[in-house]
């Protein structure tokens, strides 16, 4: 079996960072299966587009015939499953896509992957892995004094997005316990870094702050999240893929709990520093807006297990990771304009019309 990894959703925020990191640090062939929804961006991967170790396949994880032919043709030793609808606000307005992609799509991929694995023999079968990338939101919300989420925290999803990811997690677990299928599950805290679609908190605030637009903060701004720099997350996924025990779940966190308001203020100060503050500091742009329905108050991850068993810890502090992120968005105007102006959609239609 050739050293090949199938990555689903590899044109998205975390998936593209994972592929680029793997291309730089290791030597497998990487197959990127992506539907190219609004948040999928092949420009993230332009630097490796012609690399013989990389292949892009335009398709849906729910297309079982496509998944079957791809598995049979490329014979991967692992699947890393990022593909998902992931924005809470969008799930509140339209939950259908979240059920379709996150639950039905994961089920379809599991079925084809299990059939493929069943036909493998010897070492190829014993070393195959299916790594499912999930979220801390499946655990629900924490009070200010509650202990962080652990791998044994009961599930209590509070949004359609979180419920759809919880459903996919349960299917992955069931396929290991029912069929012996060698699954791994990672539940991560909030990611940030380059290539994140600007609907998410940190890139939205960076870009609005740069443009002098209002900075909308939900509720009182005291909601707390544990923040994980995306390159640290990708390193953790590679570690779990290499050394994780089949059937296990690993929480991946940044050990960086931050209040939303504090993050927005830090971004204002960094943009003032890097881009100039103009007539007044950008903190004046902060605007409090009505809280969204079911807005979880606090997330926090206990990442002790992955550190103890697999030796992984994040390299970035929140301050160092945020500074790198702010600088990247300020220095990559072409990428930003491409995903916010609609020109990227036209680019896809031109290059993949067939």
**Choice among 139, 161, 175, 250 that is catalytic:** 161
Cα 222 vs. chain centroid, distance in angstroms? 24
Among residues 20, 43, 46, the alpha carbon closest in space to that of 197 is found at 43
Complete DSSP assignment for 25-46 = H---EEEEEE---TT--GGGGG
**Choice among 34, 60, 137, 232 that is catalytic:** 137
Q: Give residue for tokens 């959703």.
A: 9
351 CB-near residues (< 8 Å, 6+ apart): none
Q: How far apart are the first and last CA of the chain?
A: 31
Residues 170 and 174: their CA atoms lie apart, in Å, by 6
Among residues 341, 340, 336, 342, the alpha carbon closest in space to that of 44 is found at 336
Q: In angstroms, what CA-CA distances link 194 with 12, 180, 188, 323, 326?
A: 11, 37, 17, 11, 9
Residue 155 known to be catalytic: no
Greatest alpha-carbon pair distance for the chain in Å reads 68
Residues 138 and 9: their CA atoms lie apart, in Å, by 20
Q: In angstroms, what CA-CA distances link 268 with 69, 92, 191, 328?
A: 49, 28, 19, 15
Residue 161 known to be catalytic: yes
Q: Give the CA-trace dihedral at 263, 264, 268, 274, to 10 degrees.
A: 50
Residue 349 known to be catalytic: no
Cα 244 vs. chain centroid, distance in angstroms? 19
Helix (H) or strand (E) holding 116: helix 106-118
**Choice among 34, 60, 112, 136 that is catalytic:** 136
Active site residues: 136-137, 161
């Amino acid at each position: 079996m050739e050293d090949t990894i199938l990555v689903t959703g590899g044109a998205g925020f975390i998936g593209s960072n994972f592929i680029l990191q793997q291309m730089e640090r290791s030597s497998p062939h990487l197959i990127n299966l992506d539907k190219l929804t609004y948040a999928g961006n092949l420009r993230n991967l332009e630097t490796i587009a012609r690399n013989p170790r990389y292949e892009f396949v335009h398709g849906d994880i729910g297309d079982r015939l496509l998944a079957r032919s791809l598995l049979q043709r490329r014979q991967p030793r692992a699947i890393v499953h990022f593909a998902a609808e992931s924005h809470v606000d969008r799930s509140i307005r339209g939950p259908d896509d979240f059920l379709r992609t996150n639950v039905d799509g994961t089920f379809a991929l599991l079925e084809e992957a299990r059939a493929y694995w069943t036909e493998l023999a010897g070492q190829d079968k014993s070393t195959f892995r299916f790594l499912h990338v999930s979220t801390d939101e499946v655990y629900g919300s924490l009070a200010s004094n509650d202990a962080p989420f652990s791998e044994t925290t009961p599930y209590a999803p509070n949004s359609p997005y979180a419920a759809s990811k919880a459903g996919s997690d349960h299917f992955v677990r069931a396929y290991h316990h029912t069929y012996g299928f060698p699954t791994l599950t990672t539940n991560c805290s909030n990611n940030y870094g380059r290539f994140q679609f600007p609907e998410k908190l940190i890139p939205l605030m960076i870009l609005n702050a740069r443009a002098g637009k209002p900075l909308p903060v939900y509720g009182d701004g005291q909601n707390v999240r544990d923040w994980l720099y995306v390159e640290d997350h990708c390193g953790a996924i590679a570690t779990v893929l290499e050394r994780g025990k089949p059937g296990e779940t690993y929480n991946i966190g940044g050990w960086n709990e931050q209040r939303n308001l504090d993050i927005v203020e830090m971004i204002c100060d960094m943009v003032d520093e890097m881009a100039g503050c103009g007539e007044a500091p950008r903190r004046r742009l902060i605007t409090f807006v009505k809280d969204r329905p079911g807005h979880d108050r606090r997330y926090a991850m206990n990442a002790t297990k992955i550190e103890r068993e697999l030796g992984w810890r994040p390299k970035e502090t929140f301050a160092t990771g945020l500074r790198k992120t702010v600088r990247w968005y300020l220095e990559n105007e072409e990428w930003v304009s491409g995903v916010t102006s609609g020109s990227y959609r036209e680019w896809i239609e031109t290059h993949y019309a067939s």
